[in-house]
Copies of this chain bind each other. A is one copy, B any other.
Amino acid sequence: MEVLSALNLGDFAQVFSKMGMFPVFDVAYYIVSIIYLKYEPGSVEVSRRSPVASWLCAMLYCFGSYILADIMLGSSPIDYFQYNSHILLASAVWYLIFYCPLNLFYKCVVFLPVKLVLVALKEVVRTRKIAAGVHHAFHAYHHGFFIMVIVGYVKGSGVALISNFEQLLRGVWRPETNEILNMSFPTKASLYGAILFTLQETHYLPVSKSTLILVFTLFMATSKIVMTARHSHGSPFALIESWVCHLLFGSPLGGSEEDHHAPAAPSSPLKTKEELSDGARKRKAKKAE
């Protein structure tokens, strides 16, 4: 019986890891990404004033991970823009979210049950991107462990890593913080995921890739659903990280990130976008309209 269940699980993981992402999962990814763009203060005003800037930001939110990975591997940063159907789909989502009459589309997709499903689907895409990024880097540099981790990391984190420059496009400049200084949960998880997939790719982690994809997807989807449902921005890694950082890097124990950087820039909006509770975001987005 045990063998059978293991076989079935392996089979399921196999099927799951081969499943096509286009268009359902990709659309979910675009929707959730562009919702986060709309949450950003000032983004609605920019969409009225300069549709080109707003569209470019939306493309960065949707395809930032491809752009960054292409830069890291020395390819054309706009290489992914050759897939016209993906770009058109993302543009349609951008148009519906920002310009739909009565704001109807936006209201549908931020309705909590719908949003929870979309958020989970987004994490499926994120995990697949990390795995693909590590695999791609592995083909270019067979022993480049650091390169594999970096490419997997940027594939998972996407626009968050260049949020300073994405904001600059919208006329906002907040140099006192960035996603590396104050990592949000998805960025941290992408880093850990990239390390795991690199270990798997180089056979230091004795599991099959499909199993790792399945397990990591389940972890990410569950975490994000719980965090979205509870409007929380605590990280499941907080406790263990706090101890490891204390031992290795002498960081003060127990304090969350907020405590550390608070004195550095007390009056500025320091929480990163994916960390903001959804309640606060919606209020801001509504105000902006």
Interface set of A (CB-CB < 8 Å, partner B): 45-53, 56, 70-79, 81-82, 84, 87, 98-99, 140-141, 143-147, 150, 164, 168-173, 175-178, 180-183, 191, 245, 248-252, 257, 260-261, 264-265
Contacts and interface: CB of A to CB of B under 8 A. Distances in A.
Contacts of A261: 49
A158 B143 CA distance: 25
Contacts of A47: 249
Contacts of A74: 70, 74-77, 79
A51 B245 contact: yes
Q: Which 4 A-B pairs have the closest CB atoms?
A: A173-B175, A74-B76, A82-B144, A81-B146
A47 B202 CA distance: 30
A49 B245 CA distance: 9
A96 to B, nearest CB: 13
A33 to B, nearest CB: 18
A76 B73 CA distance: 5
A180 B53 contact: yes
A48 B146 contact: no
A170 B143 CA distance: 30
B81 A147 contact: yes
